[in-house]
């Protein structure tokens, strides 16, 4: 039976030799001398190297080693006081011979050769794999995605970020080749499918599609010429995106949730005709007419959280369709709306007195040279304060008013993602010139967004805070006695709490 173990023995100089001993039964077959320690720190380094050789690949997120009691030189028995108690045997064991036939030198000091944020890199790569993005089998693409989360910068400068993390850094040409593979192998589709599959296993609602528009500006004032030009002035179009999403994921019964900017009757009719349901924010200017029965019976009184429903004809001529409208009144929203109304009234009063500009001033009535407050519009605004409306083509039996409102309120998640792409991940401005490179750049950004949202949901902190906390936990690689050893970082309480949250559920 072969066994291997670590042995600590005293040398004649008083140092502690760390050895890995291989035995077959009671016969010692090999003694591998790792070095001699003269301080507690050196002893800890040598023992760490010995453990790594005995069991390589130990999980770096295991906090056990980080909180264990450090070994001490004084804890090792000193038998050198009596040479008659086996001194000759000890000296035979300690002077290990290197592969070149020369004795291993003993150096009482060590030096730091590198520091890295290996813990942060392990967390990032773990999240990337958890989402199923390893299906791409492209380490250069992964490097660009994760480097962007840590520090959004150019593709060339991302090599510096990777080096600081202690992560494998591909050559710059390899990164650019990865951008080409991203386009040629349709990484966007594969990433979308991987994220959808992960969402399904995590209990996500794949049939509820949150939709919003954002802008990505280019560093040029000229549009591309031709029908296939990419750089065009204007917003994204809705239906092509929805159809592509439905086809990609094979979904039926999709419900589109969008803000009031998508409310035009033609938009809603087109969405419905394409086979989609919708929940859209409604402008409340029609509320006094929709809720005429309520205002007749109860005046302006609403209970906090009260939900009311009505129907309204939207569109004109052959485009007219009856739409269900859900309203909710909130006391907190009422306070906020009235505060805004008061500020607008104050501005209108200054404009009426000639102390402020007239243009774009609400509640101001201008008749010839006369300026005065428009009390009719003020009263109407007070009546609407606290109300929020939602238009849908879903019947009450399918989704009641409370469920409609709850679904719409999830739209903030999309807005939060847009803010992350613009601030944390700096998707814009776009400096690439060719369509393929631009689309590959955005694919990198949205893969980084998926990883960031996953980590935020797991940890309960922003991705910026997570990166700051774990990036500061630096591992150190130290050279001592010719051995290069990596020490785990000392974790702050915040880092430990964050890691515990990330490890929950695994």
Contacts 24+ apart (CB under 8 A), 162-166: 164/116, 164/117, 165/116, 165/117, 165/118, 165/120, 165/121, 165/471, 166/114, 166/115, 166/116, 166/117, 166/118, 166/121, 166/475
Scanning 158-210, the segments in alpha helix (DSSP H) are 158-165, 172-184, 187-201
Where do the structural domains in the chain lie, given as residue ranges? 2-116+480-490, 118-220+411-471
364 with 351: CB under 8 angstroms? yes
Split at pLDDT 50, 70, 90, the class of 249 is: confident
pLDDT in tens, 104-115: 333 335 677 888
**Distance, CA of 1 to CA of 24 (rounded, Å):** 5
* Amino acid 105: pLDDT: 38
Query: Which pLDDT score, from 0 to 100, does residue 198 have?
Result: 87
Give the pLDDT confidence of 121-136 residue by residue, as tens digits. 999 999 999 999 999 9
Integer-rounded Cα Rg, in Å, for the chain is: 34
Of 35-39, 102-106, 375-379, 410-414, the range with the lowest mean pLDDT is: 102-106
Over 90: is that where the pLDDT of 504 sits? no
Mean pLDDT in residue range 351-357 = 91
Task: Give the whole-angstrom CA distance, residue 331 versus residue 452.
Answer: 34
Q: Do residues 28 and 105 lie in contact, with contact meaning Cβ atoms separated by under 8 Å?
A: no
Percent of the chain at pLDDT above 70? 76
Would the pLDDT of 433 be above 60?
Answer: no
pLDDT score for 68: 44
Res 353: pLDDT: 92
- For the residues 357-373, what does the mean pLDDT come to? 91
**Confidence at residue 481, expressed as pLDDT on a 0 to 100 scale:** 65
| Lowest-confidence segment of 1-5, 169-173, 207-211, 492-496 by average pLDDT | 207-211
d(CA 281, CA 210): 12
What's the pLDDT at 373?
94
How many residues does the structure list for the chain? 506
**Residue 469 binned pLDDT confidence (cut-offs 50, 70, 90):** very high
Q: Which helix (H) or strand (E) holds 278?
A: strand 277-282
Look up residue 27 and give its two tokens: 């016969």
Q: What is the mean pLDDT of residues 445-459?
A: 90
β-partners of residue 307 are 328
Query: Can you give the pLDDT at residue 107?
Result: 39
Average pLDDT over residues 249-260: 80
Quickly state the pLDDT bin for 8 (edges 50, 70, 90). confident
- The overall average pLDDT reported for the chain is 80
pLDDT of residue 92: 41
User: Could you tell me the CA-to-CA distances from 499 to 116, 362, 396 in Å, in that order?
Assistant: 18, 52, 44
- Span 415-432, pLDDT tens digits: 666 666 666 666 555 555
- Range among 86-90, 317-321, 414-418, 430-434 rated most confident: 317-321
pLDDT digit string, tens, across residues 139-157: 999 999 999 999 888 888 8
Alpha helix (H) residue ranges in 94-151:
118-130, 139-150
**Who wins on pLDDT, 32 or 128?**
128
Task: Provide mean pLDDT across the span 196-208.
Answer: 67
Bigger pLDDT: 48 or 368?
A: 368
Q: Which residue has the tokens 């039964």?
A: 25
pLDDT higher than 70, residue 220 = no
Where is pLDDT greater, at 171 or 40? Answer: 171
User: Which pLDDT belongs to residue 62?
Assistant: 41
Say if residue 5's pLDDT is above 60: yes
CA distances from 230 to 204, 214, 227, 249 (A): 33, 15, 9, 25
Q: What residues contact 201, with CB distance under 8 A and at least 6 apart?
A: none
- Per-residue pLDDT tens for 389-419? 999 999 999 999 999 998 888 776 666 666 6
Which pLDDT does position 428 carry in this prediction? 59
pLDDT score, position 205: 47
pLDDT exceeds cutoff 90 at 42: no
Q: What integer is the mean pLDDT of 2-28? A: 84
């Amino acid at each position: 039976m072969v066994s291997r173990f670590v042995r600590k023995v005293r040398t004649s100089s008083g140092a502690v030799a760390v050895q890995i001993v291989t035995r077959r039964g009671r016969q010692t077959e090999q003694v591998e001398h790792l070095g001699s320690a003269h301080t507690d720190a050196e002893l800890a380094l040598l023992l760490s190297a010995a453990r790594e050789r005995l069991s390589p690949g130990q999980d770096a997120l295991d906090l056990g080693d980080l909180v264990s009691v450090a070994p001490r030189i004084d804890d090792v028995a000193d038998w050198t006081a009596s040479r008659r108690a086996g001194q000759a045997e000890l000296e035979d064991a300690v002077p290990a011979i290197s592969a070149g036939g020369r004795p291993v030198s003993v150096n009482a000091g060590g030096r730091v050769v590198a520091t890295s944020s290996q813990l942060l890199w392990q967390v990032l790569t773990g999240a990337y794999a958890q989402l199923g993005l390893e299906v791409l089998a492209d380490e250069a693409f992964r490097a660009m995605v994760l480097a962007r989360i840590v520090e959004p910068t150019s593709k060339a400068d991302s090599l510096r970020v990777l080096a600081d993390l202690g992560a494998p850094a591909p050559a710059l040409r390899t990164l650019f080749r990865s951008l080409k593979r991203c386009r040629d192998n349709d990484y966007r589709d594969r990433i979308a499918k991987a994220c959808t599959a992960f969402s399904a296993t995590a209990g996500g609602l794949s049939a509820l599609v949150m939709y919003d528009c954002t802008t990505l500006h280019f560093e040029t004032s000229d549009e591309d010429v031709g029908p296939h030009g990419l750089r065009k002035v204007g917003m994204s179009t809705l239906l092509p995106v929805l159809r592509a999403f439905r086809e990609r994921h094979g979904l039926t019964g999709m419900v589109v949730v969008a803000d009031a900017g998508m409310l035009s009757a033609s938009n809603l009719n087109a969405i419905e005709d394409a086979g989609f349901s919708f929940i859209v924010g409604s402008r409340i200017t029609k509320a006094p007419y929709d809720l005429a029965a309520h205002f007749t019976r109860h005046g302006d009184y609403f209970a906090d959280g009260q939900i009311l429903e009505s129907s309204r004809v939207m569109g004109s001529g052959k485009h007219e369709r009856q739409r269900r409208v859900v309203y909710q009144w909130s006391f907190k929203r009422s306070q906020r709306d009235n505060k805004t109304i008061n500020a607008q009234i104050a501005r209108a009063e200054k404009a009426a007195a000639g102390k402020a500009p007239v243009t774009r001033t609400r509640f101001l009535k201008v008749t010839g040279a006369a300026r005065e407050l428009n009390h009719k519009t003020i009263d109407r605004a007070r009546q609407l304060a606290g109300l929020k409306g939602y238009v849908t083509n879903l019947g009450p039996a399918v989704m009641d008013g409370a469920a409609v409102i709850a679904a719409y309120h999830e739209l903030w998640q999309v807005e939060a993602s847009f803010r992350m792409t613009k601030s944390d991940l700096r998707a814009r401005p776009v400096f690439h010139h060719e369509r393929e490179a631009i689309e590959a750049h955005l694919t990198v950004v949205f893969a980084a967004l998926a990883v960031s949202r996953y980590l935020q949901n797991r940890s309960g902190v922003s991705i910026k805070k997570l990166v700051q906390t774990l990036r500061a936990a630096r591992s150190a690689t130290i050279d001592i006695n010719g051995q290069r050893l990596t020490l785990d970082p000392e974790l702050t309480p915040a880092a430990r709490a964050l890691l515990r949250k990330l490890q929950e559920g695994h």
